[in-house]
Structure 1
Amino acid sequence: MQIDESKNYSEMWMGTYPSNPSYLLSTGEHLGEYLKNNPQVVGKSVLDRWGPEIPFLPKILSFSKALPLQIHPNLDLAAKLHKQDPKKFGDANHKPEIAIALSKFELFAGWKPLNDIQAHFKLKPLEKFVPTQTHFNDETLRQICKSLLNASPNVVATTIKELQDIPESHFGAYPYIPGLLDRLSKQYTEFDNGNLVAALLMNYLTLGPGDSIFVPADSIHAYLEGDIVECMARSDNVINTGFCPRAERDSVELFSQALTFQPHNAQDALLPRRKSDKGMNGKTDAYAPPISEFAVLCTCLGAGEKETHKSILGPSLMIVTKGCGSMNIPGGKKVELKEGWVFFVGQGVALDFCTEKGMAVYRAYAE
């Protein structure tokens, strides 16, 4: 991809996904081709499971407007959709992902607790979206979500207006809902169905730098504002139904059928940050989601500090997100590190980092 220095970009991809692959700076070779010609660099475990490939896709995202309300199909559905429409669904893989905040990060992830949602939908403007049944459960929630997404533009706008006329105290633990509806409406108009789904049904979270979330396959989410490191299984499949033009939305029926109901509260959406045994000097944390495709290391160094990463038994992709420094690799070679620089690291390579002024490095890996 040719970079136009006069333009702003909201995403930077790293890895081997065909629509936006990485290339070796030294030779111009496609990273995927390099791995095919040198399969030993991914390590035996990764080679046996995924072939000469990087099984994850790291990105840097920067956005000030809500990204589409979406889910990513699970393995079974992804295979089915890829077979039916390979142009739109370009692979047969699932796409569980994590997002790590580099700045203040606002987002919607998963569902509010069921009891809280049930209380919201006793409000007069929302009663019409509730199916007639005795028990309020996740299937009720599926039908409510479907009804909100199928509502006409005028019904959406009228409902938002009616909710904004209700005192904030009537929204229980969520007094922010009327104000949030106003904010979202200004971004995507008061006619966007995603406004109601996100504000009423989903967990609204504000994370600080270093905080992170895990989004399982088929889990509803929408990122609102911030700068993040994102990493996912190697896929670009997505089903959108809000915060985007109507012509770009996918089938509400497909979206509704694919939904799962995890997580079902804000706390369960968070991914803990723990010290990693990959860092020899205690300067490295790990974000390890409950999937096999990847984990992410974060090394933050102050002025004059050093860190060593033990060798990893699989491939990794590393980006410097702040500051500068240097990296020593086996053979006595010293490599300069600067903000925005990206490195592929083959299996079995130990790395020594040092910095005079401070530096932050994120490294996604599989083994």
Structure 2
Amino acid sequence: MAEVKVFPLCCVVQSYAWGKVGQDSEVARLLLGGDPQALIEETTPYAELWMGAHPKGDALIKDNRISQRTLGQWIADFPGCLGSKVKDTFHGQLPFLFKVLSVNTALSIQAHPNRELAARLHAQFPEHYPDNNHKPEMAIALTQFEGLCGFRPMDEILGFLKNVPEFRALVGNEAAEELQSADGDPGRTSLALKKCFTRMMNCEKKLFVDQLNMLVKRISEEEAAGKDTSGSNGELLLRLHSQYPGDIGCFSIYFLNRIVLQPGEAMFLGANEPHAYLSGDCVECMACSDNTVRAGLTPKYIDVDTLCEMLNYSPAPVSAKIFPCIRDNADPCVYLYDPPVPDFTVMRIQIPASAQQYTVSALDSAGILLVIDGEAVATSAAALSDITLTPGSVLFISANESVSLEVTSSSGMTMFRACCLL
């Protein structure tokens, strides 16, 4: 059935421990919306919805008239669906993995390698780094979404070194003074920042556990006395310690920017960018890889030496970490999130309440369309039949195919589309 090029998908849910539980999870809401027969367990974390052809979560084709059972199988049989440029550039593979995340407790302090480092790590430690691809990624907030991203401006880090003696004890006076004296010289600052962060991450466990306990005790007492603990980032420190007691990653909040995205705002995480997601719901798109270097706030494999060596030690304010979206000149309903990597682009499609028809335009790239809010009936010459879209519906749209929507909800629609615009 090579002529069938648009079809619905049933996507894989990952129940990682950090995910929101039961009906509190946006992932669970979308799962139930896309499949009313799904059973939501109120004690199960619904952390991630994977939309793509990754071997760990290959989406099922939701139409038994199509002989291929999964999206990966279908693309392998009909690689032309990717579009000629995408097919040739990415060797017949869908180059991105599209996700929804519902974060209840913090994910690990982590970074993703560039292609060169990914190849080396995969060759040396394939059990920890399962492929040789890079993994740039973008998170777009669905609800208020909180994370850590990139190194703070120098004045903020130096302020914490001055005001949080427990933090300074882990970095050491020598490294802290070196950082202060380097302020204003980008090259020296980067080297000094690397030294400070590496010192902290490699300090003896007894030292950091003792200092963390002292810090938690001090902040707790200050909060109980009604004092302002913002100078020690008190609220976040206590929250992370409650989730990961005795973890060195708790101190990373003094190095890394805390960023709070409002719905529709995004952050792009390129190679070697330190980050951690803390709370909230987001749409995420990434290169199709599973390579993550972790160093705290996780029970998973930790590779401190690799992380400290690879990071981008460039201080920058929170404002520099918010990735802008651009309204599409050709379609005012479309907002483009187009990162500086070839693997993926994300479109937010906001159909107003006044619209009764809308056309999802053809692109020279395969795409995956996710409905967040609203309802419609989708028709396409490349589909076997009309497709009813509700929140949680996921469509695969082959390259050079358009989809017409008859919008049936009175409040419009919100959708996200992942694709590869080469």
TM-score under structure 2 normalisation?
A: 0.79
Which ranges in structure 1 are unaligned for 5 or more consecutive residues? none
Q: Confirm whether residue 83 of structure 1 aligns to residue 123 of structure 2.
A: yes
- Tell me: CA distance 1:196–1:210, structure 2 relative to 1, closer, same or farther (3 Å): same
| AA aligned opposite 1:328 | T
Number of residue pairs matched by the alignment: 359
1:293-337 CA distance string (max 9 Å, x none): 111111122435233232100111111112211223236953211
Output one character per residue of 1:19-69: Cα deviation in whole Å (capped at 9) or x when no partner: 111121223522122112112111111111102111011101112111111
**Is it true that 1:50 corresponds to 2:94 in the alignment?**
no
Find the aligned partners of 2:72 and 2:330 in 1 and give their Cα distance: 26
C-alpha contact (below 8 Å) 1:109/1:202 kept by paired residues: yes
Distance 1:243 1:67, change over 3 A: same
What residue number does 2:145 align with?
Answer: 105
- 1:148 and 1:162, CA in 2 relative to 1: closer, same or farther beyond 3 A? farther
State the one-letter code of the partner of 1:253.
D
The counterpart of 2:167, out of the listed 105, 123, 126, is 126
- Between stretches 57-66 and 162-171, larger displacement belongs to 162-171
- The Cα offsets for residues 333-365 of structure 1, whole Å up to 9 and x where unpaired, read as 532111111111110012223323232111000
- Verify: 1:256 aligned to 2:303, yes or no: no
What residue is the counterpart of 2:50 in the other structure?
Answer: 13
Pairing of 1:201-240 with structure 2 (within 5 A): 201-240=255-294
Q: Please state how far the C-alpha of 1:164 moved relative to its aligned partner.
A: 6.5
Instruction: Look up the equivalent residue of 1:9 and give its one-letter code.
Output: Y
Return the offset for 1:213.
Answer: 0.7
Is the Cα–Cα contact under 8 Å of residues 153 and 315 in structure 2 kept in the other structure? no
- Whole-angstrom CA distance in 2 between matches of 1:150 and 1:161: 23
> Structure 1 CA distance, aligned partners of 2:156 and 2:403?
49
Contact 1:213–1:270 (Cα < 8 Å) also in 2:
yes
Q: Following the alignment from structure 2 to structure 1, what is the Cα–Cα distance between the partners of residues 146 and 403? A: 34
Question: What residue in structure 1 maps to residue 7 of structure 2?
Answer: none
State the partner residue of 2:351: 301
Across the aligned residues of Structure 1 and Structure 2, the Cα RMSD in angstroms comes to 2.5
2:239 is paired with a residue whose SS is helix
- Tell me if the contact between 2:377 and 2:408 (Cα under 8 Å) persists in the aligned partners: no
Relative to 1, partners in 2 of residues 1:350 and 1:263: Cα closer, same or farther, differing over 3 Å? Answer: farther
1:243 aligns with 2:297: yes
* Partners of 2:406 and 2:149 in 1: CA distance: 36
Residue 195 of structure 2: which of 139, 143, 151 is its match?
Answer: 143
Counterpart residue type for residue 87 of structure 2: L
Deviations 1:236-274 (A, max 9, x none): 1111111123xx241211110011135722111111122
SS at match of 1:320: strand
* Aligned 8 A contact 2:160 2:231 in 1: no
**In structure 2, the residue corresponding to 1:121 is in which secondary structure?**
helix
Q: Distance in 1 between matches of 2:389 and 2:123?
A: 43
In the superposition, the TM-score normalised over structure 1's length comes to 0.90
Change (3 A) 1:120 1:8: closer
SS in 2 for 1:122: helix
One-letter amino acid matched to 1:300: Q
Structure-2 residue corresponding to 1:200: 254
Task: Report what 2:4 is aligned to.
Answer: none
Equivalent residue runs for 1:341-360 within 5 Å: 341-357=393-409, 358-360=412-414
Match of 1:340 among 389, 392, 397: 392
Closer, same or farther in 2 for the Cα pair 1:42/1:320, shift >3 Å? same
Query: What is the identity, as a one-letter code, of the residue corresponding to 2:250?
Result: N
- Residues 125 and 249 (structure 1 numbering): CA distance in 2 closer, same or farther, change over 3 Å? same
Change (3 A) 1:46 1:145: same
Q: Once the two structures are superposed, what CA deviation does each residue of 1:67-92 show, in whole Å capped at 9, x if it has no partner?
A: 11111111111100111122221111
Aligned to 1:57, what secondary structure does the other structure show? strand
Q: Is the 8 A contact 1:69 1:220 kept in 2?
A: yes
Aligned twin of 2:376: 325
Mean Cα deviation higher: 59-68 or 329-338: 329-338
How far apart, CA to CA, are the structure 2 residues paired with 1:300 and 1:260?
A: 35
Q: Distance in 1 between matches of 2:212 and 2:260?
A: 26
Partner of residue 16, structure 2: none
Distance 2:100 2:359 in 1: 24
* Contact 1:169 1:175 survives alignment (8 Å): no
